[in-house]
Structure 1
């Protein structure tokens, strides 16, 4: 039996004693084995405490699953009971078993006893019930890619209708949607002759309306907020947000003031949603609640079941300055021109929760002027957060954005930390030797699976490496100008390499000793996800740090910034600033900056980095004594406590974190000793006699990450 329409997100099909659960957006399948051939009947998704796309019911006495990442048992109302790490028995009751694998599957049983076994070994987990019972299975697509494409003519009024359905990817509009796994990937937008919104896509019924003037500037500035609210975007005389309570929040009409207010509202509302969810699907005792809870005029979890409009009415009573220090840094902040071509970026920017700024051009535009630029929000105060394409085509620390940036990522398999493939193209034998020595001293960074250094390569070798989609990172240290690379026997013009339908570039490319991004942009055009251009050459030791950070899952702009701090080198990019070359077990990249107060005492700040793979709304915690283990929102920086060198070594022993001592970075498998920590502290204390012993929180702590 095949239950479900061909264009549905989830499909169920029984084949003998196997129930195949297909995630049609992802193209994956999870198999459940039952003790008999299931006879499927449609079931209501509303039966489950967590959102599902489709559901079926059948009778069974046992169900097992072989491929999974974790399995949780909940009460029928969603309350967490246990994670299945060992054989367990559960008394008679109503349960919902949550299976996380290539898709999310929920099993609901009523008035049943459960005997769970198998999780201690490598075999399947088996759930045995005390008698044959009705099992209801629901599933939700992981939805990490668009499920449909909207066609829009070059008309801002028509674009408002497309933006109105971007929120169709969000599974529910309670505060739980602040979890990234419930938001899905918005549908694509492409330009065409007429408006065409595929039938699976609908405007969410949230009772919220976003009003814009019929201009691209207004539509772009309000697009990400509209997506998160699931609002219908309509045309009016002035920007506003209308609630079903009858309240209207009028917005500024001047461009930059409108951008600032939208960003302020978005950040405040999103943050308060993360507090309102703390007693929800994933209960948490959050650090940020400890800091701001007493200053709020309401208890956030009490609003969890309120309507969107009722919650926003309460949220509007909160002064943004109260929560602003605790809002995660936006991984991407976009600046676009008010032209039709920028419309195709909106779904991707919405997924990244990117604030969108608009800068108009005066007079004729340069053919080289990008449609969109982006910076990383965590650099606010380091570089302009709103570059102007008209004034400076590609300002320092800015990135050129095109739809290819995001489409290429959807076409690529992301490398896991430990499997990263790297190639180095080096101009001279001497420098190649220095790079090899640095890379292997004390040993190759743990995230790298294979690597090669090519000294004085010829044109054929350079062409082959720069078009190898099997590489995750390539570093080109050859002279490069306007996309033309000098080799040992000639030149390679990377702008003449046609991409076609195949990926013909590494995931991430790094160039040096240049200021134009032609080669970087060409790498993205050929199928790369992102590229960087350093204005000055990178010393071998810093090159090791750069590649090590990328291999550890650090976003490209953050990795480049860390490497450039001591030299004040400038870098420019092509692609989203949050792009990563690898993922580390789904975790956010973390850098622990240890600042000495004396040779034996350090204040430790932890910064976690959001990215194209780790989206806003995630939480993380530090799990090493003596540091504060209270969970925090990912994408923030915190003072997690003071410790001696032994405490820093405990952090270093964890899987994943990067340790920063002054201007030195220690990757996971780098040798770090008490003696090295004390020596670094003495050097830092000698260089800076005015170290402040005061406490810092929120964004004030960012100075720990700058020189």
Structure 2
């Protein structure tokens, strides 16, 4: 959803979360007929005549009218003369736009960094906008059977804007449709018409559980999923007489996700080799005899056949193993989350696979437990969390800077310290901070119900799990409505186990929150402040918890529930880049960056000469002098792990003597 309007000679486009693209215009006349823009997935169109358009310091690319290739405008003052022909200009800021026009013109990078497109005569321009925030516009309803789930999995591929290897990039796929379960099958025409025919079939036994770990592979391959009276699954490419046999459950879950890793990352490497990204991992294609040029233009079926035939074991350990994992109970209640997990290209397993797969010890790997109870190293996820995030998108999220409410009773000194920390922290997100003391049960319920970014509850817990308020005890599991996106239950007094604390937190998620953290026991002041600082600097709840648990001294007995990848910035595309810095003892430093996030397929390229980009969740190592390191950290604002402790890049002194 993008709304576009002209005001005071500025054409302003705004999406559902407030992301904006502003273009200053001269000679505007909306008497123009829109032209077709050959790009799928655009959200809104505007056509008008103009003599001059000026963009901000945005990414601007010039391409041909068929959108088959774009050249990025470089930095520095320069001018390009455009011939009397059809042109397509791509502008990317907080949201994006394609501008199509026919005629001569001039494109110039100005001294202040802005870009200006000008014409000698009023020229018709069609603006096609797209939001970088994805949202599922349709819902697929199926019976809660193996066959019904297969139908839903087949429909997920309607999200693809491309069938090439570029669909590994989030910009080439939209949000898959929601999955709902009912008595009848209902696949909206918009979904059915968009499902591609790739010639790839995934045939599963007639058992609901098989569809759970099959989801990532089925989605990425855009496979036609169906069930049959058979004991083991098969991946088929009839046109090429190829059949790949899988073992039965429980081994199928691991095997299916292994093929998903193979096909997804092979597509990433092929796309980078042809797309000019120059990923360091792209050279792995030669190691397994894959031709990027041939595969880039191949069909999905042809690529799959090539990937299955390649000796992938040679490079498997050098590709990202996983960054976002989910263990999903094979029931209709939990299976509704599969579309959301597919959107992030998460790996999905059955809970019974936990002993074999486990939760990674790597703090950067987050594991969702979408099943009753909890498991060590995971967060207690909930299908409701993903829907609640979409509801916040519908409501416009925070309508400005995020608001943090600190509310509680009976711990005035602690509450004052928590409020002071939020008000005086030095971080990337501007916060609005409000405090309420001596909260009654009604006050606390109302505080949770009000729409805002974050509620931090500072109070005492009763032995049965209630929250002590000024006039009594509030049972949080009776709270019917929660308007806060995120919450922290900073409750002292009686300790509780992880299952009980997760159950309370999940109840608040079911009532409307996206995610929350809850104390189960002791939490040191240092650990608590580190957790909050990570959160307000763009790290998700679960990653913040894991980093504190790994690198910060002091007790930190905390569990996370809901969508643990969610951040205070409310942007599910935000990625984290903690740097591990080690002094070499000779005035240089070894730096290892491990960029990651909930969405696979992206890459990281630090601004360091001769360092090639690498896929997210793969480590990227390089060396810097003390001065180079100081400059690098000063520019980027990284979280740094030095001497097994967490620091921030504006805290330079602990890392090295500045030469």
In the other structure, the counterpart of 2:312 is: 320
Match of 1:258 among 240, 246, 252: 252
In the other structure, the counterpart of 1:160 is: 150
SS at the partner of 2:190?
coil
In the other structure, the counterpart of 1:150 is: 140
Counterparts of 1:364-443 in structure 2, within 5 Å, are 379=361, 393-412=373-392, 413=396, 419=402, 421=404, 423=406, 425=408, 428-432=411-415, 435=418, 443=425
In the other structure, the counterpart of 1:620 is: 604
Tell me if structure 1 keeps the 8 A contact 2:369–2:379: no
Tell me if structure 2 keeps the 8 A contact 1:25–1:141: no
Rounded Cα–Cα distance in structure 2 between residues aligned with 1:678 and 1:11:
49
Counterparts of 1:49-198 in structure 2, within 5 Å, are 50-53=39-42, 60=49, 62=51, 64=53, 69-76=58-65, 77-82=68-73, 88-92=79-83, 94-100=86-92, 104-109=96-101, 112-116=103-107, 126-130=116-120, 135=125, 138-140=128-130, 142=132, 144-198=134-188
Match of 1:595 among 573, 576, 582: 582
Rounded Cα–Cα distance in structure 2 between residues aligned with 1:320 and 1:510:
46
Rounded Cα–Cα distance in structure 2 between residues aligned with 1:247 and 1:508:
53
In the other structure, the counterpart of 2:640 is: 659
Is 1:276 the counterpart of 2:270 in the alignment? yes
Counterparts of 1:601-680 in structure 2, within 5 Å, are 601-611=588-598, 615-624=599-608, 629-638=611-620, 640-669=621-650, 671-673=651-653, 676-678=654-656
| 1:433-461 deviation per Cα after TM superposition (whole angstroms, max 9, x unaligned) | 665677788x5445352345667755455
| 1:74-112 deviation per Cα after TM superposition (whole angstroms, max 9, x unaligned) | 2443131415875633342653201235754323345x4
Shift of 1:622: 1.4
* TM-score of the two chains, using structure 2 as the length reference: 0.83
The more displaced of 260-269 and 476-485 is 476-485
Shift of 1:194: 0.7
Tell me if structure 2 keeps the 8 A contact 1:61–1:133: yes
SS at the partner of 2:315?
helix
Is the alpha carbon distance of 1:65 and 1:261 closer, same or farther for their aligned partners in structure 2, counting shifts above 3 Å?
farther
| 1:623-657 deviation per Cα after TM superposition (whole angstroms, max 9, x unaligned) | 257xx63212223322x223454444334312431
Cα root mean square deviation, aligned: 4.2
In the other structure, the counterpart of 1:286 is: 279
Rounded Cα–Cα distance in structure 2 between residues aligned with 1:444 and 1:21:
31
Rounded Cα–Cα distance in structure 2 between residues aligned with 1:54 and 1:470:
27
In the other structure, the counterpart of 2:561 is: 574
Q: Which runs of 5+ in 2 are unaligned?
A: none
In the other structure, the counterpart of 2:516 is: 531
Rounded Cα–Cα distance in structure 2 between residues aligned with 1:456 and 1:246:
71
Shift of 1:355: 1.9
Is 1:295 the counterpart of 2:276 in the alignment? no
| 1:494-535 deviation per Cα after TM superposition (whole angstroms, max 9, x unaligned) | 111112xxx523424354653221321122123211112343
Is the alpha carbon distance of 1:191 and 1:564 closer, same or farther for their aligned partners in structure 2, counting shifts above 3 Å?
same
Is the alpha carbon distance of 1:103 and 1:353 closer, same or farther for their aligned partners in structure 2, counting shifts above 3 Å?
same
Tell me if structure 2 keeps the 8 A contact 1:276–1:304: yes
Is the alpha carbon distance of 1:588 and 1:156 closer, same or farther for their aligned partners in structure 2, counting shifts above 3 Å?
same
In the other structure, the counterpart of 2:478 is: 496
In the other structure, the counterpart of 1:555 is: 540
| 1:263-290 deviation per Cα after TM superposition (whole angstroms, max 9, x unaligned) | 111111111111111255x521112224
In the other structure, the counterpart of 1:368 is: none
